[in-house]
Chains A and B, each alone.
Chain A
Amino acid sequence: MSPASAPTFLETLPLLPQRLIGDALRSLGIPEAFAAAAETAVAAIIVFSLFAGMFALLSLIERKVLARVQNRPGPNRVGPCGILQPVADGIKMLTKEDVVPVSADRLLHFLAPVLIVIPSILALGVLPYGREWVPVPATLGLLFFFAVGAMTELSIFLAGWASGSKFPLLGAMRAIAQMVSYELPLILSATAVVMLSGTLSLPEIVEKQGGWTLGFLPAWNLFTPWGLVAGSIFFIAGIAEANRCPFDLPEGESEIVAGHMTEYSGFKYALFFMGEYLGLFALSSLGITLFLGGWQAPLPGLGFVPSYVWFFLKLAVVIFLFLWIRATFPRVRMDQLMRFAWMFLIPVALLNLPSAAVWHYAGGGLMGWLACGPFLVLPYLALTIHFNRKLAQSTRTYRFAE
């Protein structure tokens, strides 16, 4: 990973359209402020269309993977191997009747699906996809990400409240409880990274994860004791933030129809899905940036591959993990969900902060592992004892069955 003096053509390829347009505008004598704004707009359009395309693809891949886990072939009728299924779904969604309940607040009912897509797109803007490819290089990128990410809860609650119906309201209340609870461990785990990187800028956080330990192991945050804990917590809390199985209680189709999306149909429903998937992409991308070294190559000597290829490969792996988990675990109960967040994730995430400090002062390496070891092992042991005692105590009593 020698610092390249001049970035290669492939490395700057995603930036080509915005540069061309910016240069064209400047050569026409347009003021610099407008040209820069146009450049940013083009960069945003590229990122948005890229992730919108990935959303369409993922909606197919998700069904394919889930089908394969259940030993089915999955959608395979529209086009070769069902590749045109997203198109068919889109046409179906567009041609459906748009139903607004009589009891709904028409304006808010319309606004909610629009507002749910916006924060995800905003959050995607500050992420570093490649060494050169950062659509909006913000110095406080991480803070911005969480600030706009918090808007998602509002639009979900807006949808639930504006629908004027019981299931959406129940789903929205679940969503608020869940997302507020899980935002805490999410941010606490990211704090550990901020502590050791000393910056809130996402591109800089990725730069700091460059290099190799022992000559082959990438110096990603995941391969440190505090990073392992924080990364795991981030992943779990990310599943809950993205409303994915096994934490998909806000939707909970077997209990509350479709939660906040119950009273939506047609394209508004599709927008909710899009917002959800874009949020999933954004959270996965942030997780990769914070813990999996962003666009850094996983092995030495692979620097010739454009850096954004590594980023999207990692994204594919993380997304597959999400699908795998969805295919495996059943939905948890509301009380289990809340207890898990407040009595396990948040204490462990808090305990992880001193662990990160110890790592910093131990100077990393073997000393760091030895010093941080207790922070890894002790919670695990405590949990083992705690859960096994609970398991031994709990005899299930059936009130109505048996």
Chain B
Amino acid sequence: MSAAPKWIPPGIGLLQGLAVTGKNFIGSFFRADRMTTVQYPEERVTLSPNSRNIPFLVFDGGDPDTGLRCVACGICEKECPPQCIYIVLDRDENGKSLKRPKVFDIDASVCMNCGICAEVCPFDSIFMDQEYELSSADRFKGLLFDKATLAKSATYHAKIRPLEAAAVAERKRAEEAKRAAAQAAKEAKAKADAAKKAEAPPTISNARPAGGSASPPDLSPTRSGQESDPPKSTQPTAPEEAP
């Protein structure tokens, strides 16, 4: 600031300031584009695709009970920084995992909307919602969201986050195709083996079919050889079969 200040007669600066505010005052009556206020309950802005609030669970198809993608693996529960997620794995009478949550609760009063649960989920089953009118008259029960409240359809996900939902659908399709190919290869190999078996006398074979996975194909997406898939890096962990 070594340069000499521009010569302004005293008082002119004040008038210039008054002119600016005066222009805004008059302009606000004549130009609608000046008014940036959104009259909230009546008007709403469309949220940006990346805006996020409370998490929700995605289900495919029409039924939230059977279509839920969640397998109750508990990764989100472990990763959640404020520990607002509570999951109980559903089991049949023999104690075998049914690979679905019996209880899935999120305490909205604790959740800090960080989105880590959605990031770590290997099953594309939990995403961040854009619902922001969450106020409740009951500060305990009203803010504890259970499985039924959290479950929302895949079409809803496609509506609020089209890009993310499209990427998920694309990934699912690729997995499906890969699985079908693996299945075909497995069947071909089995056929070849059967043919071989018919020729040679049977011996004890412990060779496993190529591409075969320990977990059931409909729940565990095979990840090997999918390095081009950007958002998911965590290896899927299937829920433990027995405690």
Contacts and interface: CB of A to CB of B under 8 A. Distances in A.
A65 B25 contact: yes
A384 B28 contact: no
Contacts of B17: 328-329
A71 B18 contact: no
B204 interface: no
Contact of A327 (B2, B10, B21, B27): B21
A324 B21 contact: yes
A324 B22 contact: yes
Contacts of A68: 24-25, 28-29
B35 interface: yes
B34 interface: yes
B34 A325 contact: no
A369 to B, nearest CB: 20
Contact of A69 (B4, B7, B25): B25
A71 B36 CA distance: 7
A384 B1 contact: no
Interface string B1-26: 11011010110001001101110110
Given A65-B25, A384-B10, A392-B4, A328 B18 contact: yes
Contact of A73 (B20, B25, B27, B35): B35
A395 B39 CA distance: 46
B9 A384 contact: yes
Contact of B5 (A65, A329, A391): A391
Nearest to B23: A69
A71 B1 CA distance: 33
B24 A70 contact: yes
A72 interface: yes
B37 interface: yes
Nearest to A321: B18
Interface string B201-228: 0000000000000000000000000000
A325 B18 contact: yes
A180 interface: no
A329 B35 contact: no
Nearest to B22: A324
B36 to A, nearest CB: 6
Contacts of B35: 71-73
A383 B28 CA distance: 36
A95 interface: no
A49 interface: no
B10 A71 contact: no
A380 interface: yes
Interface residues of A, number: 21
A310 B34 CA distance: 34
A71 B5 contact: no
A71 B28 contact: yes
A383 B25 CA distance: 31
A387 interface: yes
A96 interface: no
A324 B26 CA distance: 12
Contacts of A327: 21, 25
Contacts of A383: 10
Contacts of B34: 71
B4 A71 contact: no
Contacts of B2: 395
A395 B1 contact: yes
Nearest to B2: A395
A383 B11 CA distance: 10
Nearest to B29: A68
Given A324-B21, A325-B18, A72 B37 contact: yes
A73 B28 CA distance: 8
A69 B20 CA distance: 9
A396 interface: yes
A388 interface: yes
Contacts of B1: 395-396
B7 A324 contact: no
Nearest to A327: B21
Among A71, A380, A384, which residue has the most Cβ atoms of chain B within 10 A? A71
A240 B70 CA distance: 67
Interface string A376-402: 000010011001100110011000000
A122 B24 CA distance: 38
A396 B27 CA distance: 36
Interface in A313-330: 324-325, 327-329
Given A383-B10, A387-B10, A392 B5 contact: yes
Contacts of A392: 4-5
Interface string A67-80: 01111110000000
A69 B10 contact: no
A71 B9 contact: no
B32 to A, nearest CB: 11
Contacts of B7: 388
Nearest to A232: B11
B192 to A, nearest CB: 76
5 contacts: A70-B24, A71-B36, A329-B14, A329-B17, A395-B1
8 shortest interchain CB distances as A-B pairs:
A328-B21, A71-B34, A68-B28, A69-B25, A328-B17, A69-B21, A71-B28, A391-B5
